[in-house]
Amino acid sequence: MNTKKRDRVYFWMIFPAFAGFTVLYLLPTAMSFLYSLTNWSVYNAQLRFVGLRNFQKIFTDVKTVAALVHSIKYAILITICQNVLAVLLAVLLNRKSRAANFVKSVTFLPAVLSIMVVGYLFQYIMTSADGGLLNRIIEWFGGKPVNWLGDADIALYSVLITQVWQWTGWSMVIYIANLKSIDASLYEAADMDGAGSVQKFFRITLPLLYPAISFNILMSLIGGMKMFDAVFVMTKGGPGYATETIMTTVIREGFSSGRNAYACAFSVVFFIVVFLFSQTLTYVFNRWEEAIRA
Amino acid sequence: MRKKAISFVICAAMAAGCLPGTQVYAQDGQEVVKLRMMAYNAESARATYLQYLADKLPGIEIEFEFVSTDNFDNVLNSQLQAGEGPDIIEVGGQTKLLARAGYLMDLSDQEFIGKYSDSGLQAYTVGEGVYAEPLQSWFEGIFYNKKMFEENGISVPKTWDEFIEIHKTLEEKGIKAQTMGAQSYEPMMKQSIGLVNNLFYSDSANMAFDEKFNEGEGKLEEAWLPAVQEWYKIIEAGCLNAEMLGLSYDQALDEFATEKAAMWECGPWAVETILEKNPDIDLGMFPIPGTDGEKPGWLVGGPGSAWAINAKSEHMEEALQVLEVTSTEEAQQALAKDNAGSSFVKGVEIDLGDIYADCEEAFKEGNVYAPWTAVWTNGNAVTESYGKSLQEVLSGSKDVQQALADADMTNADLLEALE
């Protein structure tokens, strides 16, 4: 088969996926950019250009800015907590034993549950009602009950804990897969040089976990920025606006209130923030990779 | 060859899956038309009525889709924008917005609309058009456990101060006085509007305020402030507390139904679930009291939800049949059986039952009002903003004036979006 013919075959093979990507992602994204400069509302048939007014409103509305801050804070915290715990668990459980396999399975189990199910479950576990399981345990140990989901200062962290619980096992499995690919002779050489466990972890394991770390961190960060379902189920963005995120605000403004153009503008801001985050991380990871190779 | 045969079978199966399904026929051989009905009141609150429709209209099969109020506008608006959506829609505060945007069918020419009183149609009228058929009135007051009241020598409060006093009396005896699922923005929003009804809307001169609010001229921060400050006394007294922000609607209902709390603010739609959980509970409801003990208090409510027809429905004729049957006395009685509320069909009397005996005076005086469903254009979004800000008031980070200012700002933003 000559090159041109082969390229044509490849083109038609990727065409369905590319067409889907264009229609379902590229086009709506471009339309969101355009609509963000208009007064588009589900309740208003007259579309007109309003320039950057929607963007101006976003940065002068304290509720919307708070949602942006919550999303960034949540994304950074979940990325750190989830990945630190997952790396530690992966290193501890990367061995052949029935007990290790059992713990791995148990740790991974929450990841197969729906976020909605986990959210409803924890809503009952963390409730401030008399039957709240978590508070009962705290009281049994002599502590005072905590208003996990109703206290504006801690509600976001309560949601975060549930998501760390759910997704740490998923990250751990990726780290374990990466650990399996590290050559055992490196550890043997380190042993012969008299390196301790901590030195081996920081000098061999962590640098060679680079592929899994870069993937997991990027996924956690983007997933954290997109947080919607757990917040929606557990706190509905409340109390007040204490757990509102970018996505809950976009849904509320765009669909409930009918301020579609405003929601589009906020989606554009979201796109830019995620783009900047991912570009910065990619740059940092590339530099790290170069340092490891050097 | 074998691979080709397998591929052919799989393709044939996929093609068969794409073919339209078999038509369903009623017993008399007539083709059954499926109508999508989207509602924010649960199917259990319409069970008798839906059965009545099924008996009366054998040629129509209703697919009832319940979507909770928290998510209703999201789901509905996205479907309507896509040019789709249910055939029949349960509408409330969003009716005027949807009608102006051309999503709803004008029903003003339909004969059955003439059966309804003007007070029932007012909330669904835009210009000369009527865009929904009212189902029944809705109201919300304070449910109370009669047995717990009697055992503790408490009678139904006539003033807001007495209401607060009851809390203190019960709490001193180790009884949780009032439960509230304040995780939702709704209960505090509605309870405070109950006080606004008592102190502001009770003066008929103030009824014009809502139209001014729709124009962006009237401000809640100025008009409602004294009433909402009066309501705030219940927070100052510790009767509503920040712990309630961690309680959902279902959890609050559980606490009241299982007699862990003596009072709970809600409406008739919850009665069935309460009685399912505790058939022995002795239930009553009283209106939200004001400051004048001589007056009967107010309920929050009014023309509740209504049926509207999607302007792009492919089954308008059948949808109109459903609305026509709904306007009969039998259908109105069937509606009231699962969800107490008076009828707006002229001449139809509904017996609400003993539970609501303490609300009788308020009903007679017509003390039932909810401005956001009756008049406001942006009712749902403004009350959500106000209710969420009241959650911040309960958690101590805002005062009621700021909460009202937030609601004004939301109204201004939405009016600007409609320009």
> A127: which chain B residues are within 8 Å (Cβ-Cβ)?
246-248, 251
B283, B257 in Cβ contact below 8 A?
A: no
The pair of structure tokens assigned to A82 is 């989830």
CB contact under 8 A, B260 and A256: no
DSSP B216: T
Q: What type of residue sits at position B404?
A: L
> A151: which chain B residues are within 8 Å (Cβ-Cβ)?
242, 245-246, 395
Name the class of domain B139-302+370-418.
alpha beta
Probe site for chain B from A128, A139, A266 (most B CB atoms < 10 A):
A128
The CA distance from B245 to the nearest CA of chain A, in Å, is 4
State the residue for tokens 């509408």: B91
Rounded to 5°, angle at Cα B69 from B66 and B70: 120
A127 backbone dihedrals φ, ψ, rounded to 5°: -65, 155
CA B355 to chain centre: 19
- In the predicted structure, residue B19 carries a pLDDT above the cut 60: no
**Cα A171 from Cα A214, distance rounded (Å):** 11
CB contact under 8 A, B413 and A123: no
CB contact under 8 A, A257 and B251: no
B144 backbone dihedrals φ, ψ, rounded to 5°: -140, 155
Question: What is the reported pLDDT for B5?
Answer: 63
Question: What is the reported pLDDT for B28?
Answer: 58
Residues in chain A: 294
B304, B341 in Cβ contact below 8 A?
A: yes
Put simply, whether A266 touches B (Cβ < 8 Å) is no
> B97: which chain A residues are within 8 Å (Cβ-Cβ)?
43, 258
Which of B243, B254, B392 faces A240 most closely, judged by CB atoms? B392
pLDDT digit string (tens) for B319-368? 999 999 999 999 999 998 888 888 888 888 888 889 999 998 988 888 88
Rounded to 5°, angle at Cα A56 from A54 and A62: 100
Mean local confidence (pLDDT), A193-219? 92
User: Per-residue DSSP letters for B97-125?
Assistant: HHHHTT-B---TT-GGGGGB-HHHHGGGE
Chain A residue closest in CA terms to B79? A255
The CA distance from B333 to the nearest CA of chain A, in Å, is 33
The pair of structure tokens assigned to B122 is 């007012």
CB contact under 8 A, B246 and A258: no
Superfamily, domain B28-134+305-354: Periplasmic binding protein-like II (3.40.190.10)
Residues 49 through 68 of chain A touching chain B, CB cutoff 8 Å: 57
- In the predicted structure, residue B395 carries a pLDDT above the cut 60: yes
Helix (H) or strand (E) holding B306: strand B306-309
**Cα B43 from Cα B64, distance rounded (Å):** 7
Put simply, whether A203 touches B (Cβ < 8 Å) is no
Put simply, whether A224 touches B (Cβ < 8 Å) is no
**Cα B224 from Cα B213, distance rounded (Å):** 12
**Cα B112 from Cα B135, distance rounded (Å):** 13
Give exposure, A201-212, as e/b (b: 16+ Cβ within 10 Å). Answer: eeebbeebbbeb
B245, B392 in Cβ contact below 8 A?
A: no
- In the predicted structure, residue B22 carries a pLDDT above the cut 50: no
Question: What is the reported pLDDT for B306?
Answer: 93
Q: Write down the ipTM of this complex.
A: 0.85
**Cα A40 from Cα B260, distance rounded (Å):** 48
3-state secondary structure of B311: coil
Between chain A and chain B, the number of residue pairs with CB atoms below 8 A apart is: 127
**Cα A293 from Cα B373, distance rounded (Å):** 67
pLDDT digit string (tens) for B136-150? 888 999 999 999 999
Q: How far is CA B221 from CA B229, B236, B373, B413, in A?
A: 11, 20, 19, 16
Q: A155-180 and A115-125 helices cross at what angle (nearest 10)?
A: 130
**Cα B270 from Cα B41, distance rounded (Å):** 10
Question: What is the reported pLDDT for B11?
Answer: 53
Fold match flag (B28-134+305-354 vs B139-302+370-418): yes
Cis omega (within 30 of 0) for bond into B86: no
Q: What type of residue sits at position B161?
A: D
> B380: which chain A residues are within 8 Å (Cβ-Cβ)?
256
**Cα B300 from Cα A87, distance rounded (Å):** 55
pLDDT digit string (tens) for A215-273? 999 999 999 999 999 999 999 998 999 999 999 999 989 887 889 999 999 999 999 99
State the residue for tokens 């049994």: A140
CB contact under 8 A, B381 and A258: yes
Q: How confident is the model at residue B119 (pLDDT cuts 50, 70, 90)?
A: confident
Put simply, whether A130 touches B (Cβ < 8 Å) is yes
**Cα A149 from Cα A246, distance rounded (Å):** 19
CB contact under 8 A, A43 and B100: yes
Q: How far is CA B319 from CA A292, B108, B287, B396, in A?
A: 69, 15, 36, 49
Q: What is the mean pLDDT of chain B?
A: 90
Domains of chain B, by residue range, sit at 28-134+305-354, 139-302+370-418
**Cα B79 from Cα B87, distance rounded (Å):** 11
Which of A151, A256, A259 faces B242 most closely, judged by CB atoms? A151
CA A7 to chain centre: 37
**Cα B297 from Cα A158, distance rounded (Å):** 40
Contacts of A171 (CB under 8 A, 6+ apart): A82, A83, A86, A216, A220
The pair of structure tokens assigned to A259 is 């301020």
The CA distance from A158 to the nearest CA of chain B, in Å, is 11
Q: What is the percent of chain B with per-residue pLDDT over 90, rounded to a whole number?
A: 68
Q: How confident is the model at residue B20 (pLDDT cuts 50, 70, 90)?
A: very low
3-state secondary structure of B295: coil
Question: What is the reported pLDDT for B418?
Answer: 78
Picking from B115, B116, B88, B92, the residue whose alpha carbon sits closest to that of residue B104 is B88
DSSP B61: E
CB contact under 8 A, B244 and A150: yes
β-partners of residue B299 are B368
pLDDT digit string (tens) for A1-56? 678 888 899 999 999 999 999 999 999 999 999 999 999 888 877 889 999 999 99
Question: What is the reported pLDDT for A227?
Answer: 94
A171, A83 in Cβ contact below 8 A?
A: yes
**Cα A80 from Cα B353, distance rounded (Å):** 58
Which is more confident, B378 or B149?
B149
**Cα B95 from Cα B123, distance rounded (Å):** 8
- In the predicted structure, residue B265 carries a pLDDT above the cut 70: yes
Helices (DSSP H) in B237-351: which residue ranges? 249-257, 271-277, 316-326, 329-338
